[in-house]
Chains A and B, each alone.
Chain A
Amino acid sequence: MIGVIAKHESTSLLRLPITWMIAAVLACAFAFLFLQQLEVYLTRQAELALLDHPPGLTAWLTTRFIAPASIVTLILGPLFAMRSFSDEFRLETLALWQSSPVSTTALVIGKFLGVTLVLCAALSVTLLMFAGVAWVGKLDWWQVASAMLGLYLLAAACAATGLFFSSLTRHAMVAVLASLATLALVWLIGTASFNAIPIPGLQATSLANHIGGFHQGYLATNDVLYFVLYIALFLVLTIVRLDALRHVNR
């Protein structure tokens, strides 16, 4: 059943012109960032060679390209999830799901997988860029895989956040703005300006603090666990919200 829901969600997304527009913007932004960092690396090769431990091409690209690409994903990711439940409210189609033998958990997980699949497919254009470089040079594919895993997990976190906020309102734009605000906050609490806040463990809740390891090819269990818990939290909140709707007069 989850597969049926995921397929419906992803095909619904792919039928929307805005999905293709956002994917195009994503691809253009990634291409610009990638070529920019490639050019910087090539022009500074002589300078880098003087360092004790000069970064290789893979390390340069995964840290200098994937990091800003993560920010772009953070901004554009919620746009993929903004309609998931908002449209169900607007079109009054939630009755189809609620009167079917489908559990709320299956519905939420199915929709999450559908959105994440489309978002990750859009992000996979990055792999083509790396493949282009690998054609003329040599890349450490394990480090690329690690960086891409981080990007995919971030995309899944964006999808989960967007899904939750879309379950709160029938207005897709409100869902996007609320998602962006939440993601920005969770990202920024890891930055230096939040160091002064004396809350124990605050830094550990930041997305930014858990994505860096992936870019450097350093896969830490706690980073993976952080993303899994983050995604699970928003999915559970979505399930609770949808179940609560059965208690609300509409």
Chain B
Amino acid sequence: MVNDRPILLRATSLSRLISPTARVADISVTLREGDVLGLLGLNGAGKSTTLKMLAGLLVPDGGDVEIDGHSLMEHPLAARAQLGYLPDTPPLYPDMRVAAYLKLAAQLRRVPRKLVKPAVDYALEVCDLTAVAKHRIAALSKGFRQRVGLAQAIIHRPKVILLDEPSSGLDPHQMQSMRTLIKTLGQDAAVIFSTHLLPEAVAVCNHIAVMHNGRIVASELPSDTPVTAETEISEHITQPLLRDDLDTLFTNLVQFGTPKAPVRTLTSKIEQPTPADNINP
């Protein structure tokens, strides 16, 4: 019955040169309503660049993105109307009050005039911001700011929500709240959120993709992947990797595990380094 759910996001062969020695290449993702995809990867893996391309902030060198059937290249305004995006740094105006900022966000997302106030109230309630609605954003803690950033992304109830490391800098309690919130949002929308922590992805997502050096190297992981599941991930590696890359990847992604042993079982998927491999693709 999974396939009965409508496709909300389809990215096809996205690629983009980041620097002369690094590129994001061949990113293809299809998400349906109710899908929550965790985009795992180390710093510099290309997660943020991928999300920026999906959000329309960066034009890909190749490939296309469709949001709820609208091409981001050909009909950007229609596509972006169904999109909520929280960048790694929340786009906040420190001198504005929370409610005023959310009102602006609702207006920018073309929420009908009569529905702006209900939309602001919805976002305040969902993100647990009602108590600070009249506060200036500059006076808020990092956790509250992150939630205000999330509130602006969901205020128009978008069909696709992109969250770039939404729980970075949050304390454990706030992190738990954020995870619960993302799960709730994922019931009616397609959500992609990036993280470099496997436990976080496992706790929230029903799909996980691992990015490394600008490519998705593992995807379609089972939703019940355990926290220390290096082997589970390893079995889904689809791209050849250098031994050092794989080792580093798992050591950093899995906080609470023993990454060395499973890596040794992956000899068939480990390439021998060549001089060209010393440069990132």
Contacts and interface: CB of A to CB of B under 8 A. Distances in A.
Contacts of A246: 56-59
Given A99-B80, A249-B49, 7 more contacts: A16-B95, A93-B91, A99-B83, A102-B77, A103-B77, A246-B57, A246-B58
A101 B91 contact: no
A20 interface: no
A97 interface: yes
B81 A101 contact: yes
A95 interface: yes
A136 interface: no
B257 interface: no
B259 to A, nearest CB: 31
Given A91-B91, A101-B80, A96 B57 contact: no
B18 interface: yes
A45 to B, nearest CB: 51
Contacts of A97: 108
Contacts of B18: 249
Interface in A89-130: 91-103
B94 interface: yes
A32 to B, nearest CB: 32
Nearest to B162: A99
A16 B57 CA distance: 28
Contacts of A15: 95
A195 interface: no
Nearest to A98: B57
B271 to A, nearest CB: 28
Interface in B95-135: 95, 104-105, 107-110
Contacts of A249: 16, 18-19, 49, 58
A92 B93 contact: no
Contacts of A1: 107-108, 110
A91 B94 contact: yes
B81 A8 contact: no
Contacts of B139: none
Contacts of A94: 91
Contacts of B49: 249
A12 interface: yes
A99 B19 contact: no
B57 A101 contact: no
A44 interface: no
A4 interface: yes
B87 interface: yes
Size bin of chain B's contact surface: 20 to 34
16 contacts: A1-B110, A4-B104, A92-B87, A95-B87, A98-B55, A98-B56, A99-B56, A99-B85, A100-B105, A101-B76, A101-B78, A101-B80, A101-B108, A101-B110, A246-B56, A246-B59
9 closest A-B pairs by CB: A96-B91, A99-B85, A101-B81, A100-B108, A93-B91, A101-B77, A95-B87, A92-B89, A101-B80
B55 to A, nearest CB: 5
Contacts of A98: 55-57
Contacts of A53: none
Interface string A15-48: 1100000000000000000000000000000000
B266 interface: no
Contacts of B76: 101
A11 to B, nearest CB: 9
Contacts of A92: 87, 89, 91
A160 B21 CA distance: 38
B59 A247 contact: yes
A83 to B, nearest CB: 11
A102 B109 CA distance: 8
A102 B81 CA distance: 9
B92 interface: yes
Contacts of B195: none
Contacts of B105: 96, 100
Contacts of B83: 99
B146 interface: no
Contacts of A96: 91, 105, 108, 152
Nearest to A94: B91
A8 B91 CA distance: 15
A247 B107 CA distance: 27
A15 to B, nearest CB: 5
Contact of B80 (A8, A12, A100): A100
Given A99-B55, A247-B59, A249-B19, A93 B108 contact: no
Contact of A93 (B57, B78, B92): B92
A201 B49 CA distance: 47
A93 B85 CA distance: 12
A12 to B, nearest CB: 7
B108 A4 contact: yes
A197 to B, nearest CB: 41
Given A4-B108, A249-B18, A249-B19, A99 B57 contact: yes
